[in-house]
Amino acid sequence: MSKNYSAQPAMTLPRKGLSLPNPFTLGTYRVFQRNRDVFLKLWKTELWPPIVEALLSLFAFGFGLGVYITQVNGQSYIQFIAAGLIFSSVLFTASFECMFGTFIRMQQEKVFDAIIATPVSIEEVVSGEIFFAAVRATFNGTCVIAVMAVLQLTPSWWVLLVPPLALLTGFLLASIAVVVTSLVSSFTSFNYYITLGVIPMQLFSSVFFPVSQLPENVRWVAYLSPLYPAVEAGRSLYMGDIHAGLLLNLVWILALTVVFYLLAVNLMRRRLIK
């Protein structure tokens, strides 16, 4: 008796080499949705820390250190530092989500392997990870804005454009973190990027003081930081100071985002294929 086997389509492996992925797909949204649902299930421990962190940071730096600093570039110190804290929060949230969170899902929990076994592609998995980290970072940054609004320290309605800028910045910083994650073999290797990347970005990107206060031969550190144009653009929007430099910063952020996103997708694809 002969058996009749139905033909099964052959599995196609992702192509090697540089590719131009499309981040706006249903598969990308499904990966984002999966991470979002897990996040919301843990809302009791995930939603309140950004608000408390914003309050502590503003009171410690703005009202504490601000007593000794009257004005910075014509602004009160608490208003100057507010924009910096928004994007500092974006930096840490996006970076840690796409370092430790992505590494755990990829290496420990094998979530990526399970998702890739479905019609969702590697490119969509990576894009979904980056989108989720960017949205989560935007939420945390917006908590700082909300606290400032409650304290009546938001001087301009242009501040409403800061969250979209935070989303773009979060996408950029999450992409950089995915690049790092695609290259490391263990959690301890993240210490290199945290110490030599994340911390210098926070300290030398005009978060706590103007870059003009740095010695001239050290200012290049700030100018090379991907966070610096975001802080400068965010501070301009926060204060309602709209000028040509704002557009230049936005163009530079967008260019960096495209470069690091493509690099992140292709490096992660190579790692997962191996």
Mean of pLDDT values over 130-139: 96
Does the residue 2 lie in any domain?
Answer: no
Look at residue 8 in the predicted model and tell me its pLDDT: 36
Mean pLDDT is lowest, of 47-51, 132-136, 143-147, for 47-51
pLDDT band at 14 (very low <50, low <70, confident <90, very high): very low
Mean pLDDT is lowest, of 10-24, 116-130, 165-179, 258-272, for 10-24
Look at residue 13 in the predicted model and tell me its pLDDT: 44
Q: Spell out the residues 6+ positions from residue 91 whose beta carbon is closer than 8 angstroms to its own.
A: 137, 173, 198, 201, 202, 227
Look at residue 243 in the predicted model and tell me its pLDDT: 86
Q: Spell out the residues 6+ positions from residue 146 whose beta carbon is closer than 8 angstroms to its own.
A: 51, 54
Cα-based distances in Å from 261 to 22, 96, 135, 175? 11, 17, 15, 5
Does the residue 129 lie in any domain?
Answer: yes
Whole-number Å distance between alpha carbons of 184 and 196: 15
Does the residue 175 lie in any domain?
Answer: yes
Look at residue 30 in the predicted model and tell me its pLDDT: 93
Q: How does the average pLDDT of the chain come out, rounded?
A: 86
Is pLDDT at 19 greater than 60 in this prediction?
no
Q: Spell out the residues 6+ positions from residue 187 whose beta carbon is closer than 8 angstroms to its own.
A: 100, 103
Is-contact 56 143, C-beta < 8 A?
A: no
Is-contact 233 172, C-beta < 8 A?
A: no
Look at residue 5 in the predicted model and tell me its pLDDT: 36
Does the residue 100 lie in any domain?
Answer: yes
Q: Which helix (H) or strand (E) holds 71?
A: strand 71-72
Is pLDDT at 149 greater than 60 in this prediction?
yes
Q: Coil, strand, or helix at residue 18?
A: coil
Is-contact 106 249, C-beta < 8 A?
A: no
Domain boundaries, position 127 = 26-33+47-63+70-273
Question: Residue 5 gets which letter from DSSP?
Answer: P
Q: How many CA atoms lie within 13 A of 96 on its CB side?
A: 11
pLDDT band at 7 (very low <50, low <70, confident <90, very high): very low
Does the residue 1 lie in any domain?
Answer: no
Mean of pLDDT values over 132-150: 92
Percent of the chain with pLDDT over 70: 92
Closest CA to 124 of 135, 114, 113, 116: 116
pTM of the model: 0.88
Residue of 41 and 62 predicted with greater confidence = 41
Does the residue 19 lie in any domain?
Answer: no
Q: Coil, strand, or helix at residue 200?
A: helix
Is-contact 238 264, C-beta < 8 A?
A: no
Closest CA to 78 of 147, 131, 3: 147
Instruction: Using the structure block, give the residue that is written with the tokens 């500092």.
Output: 88
Closest CA to 73 of 249, 232, 221: 232
- At 53-92, the pLDDT tens digits run 888 888 888 777 777 777 787 788 888 888 899 999 999 9
Mean pLDDT is lowest, of 33-37, 185-189, 270-274, for 270-274
- At 197-224, the pLDDT tens digits run 999 999 999 999 888 888 888 888 888 9
Is pLDDT at 169 greater than 90 in this prediction?
yes
* Number of domain units in the chain: 1
Is pLDDT at 109 greater than 80 in this prediction?
yes
Does the residue 182 lie in any domain?
Answer: yes
- At 221-272, the pLDDT tens digits run 888 999 999 999 999 999 888 888 899 999 999 999 999 999 999 999 998 8
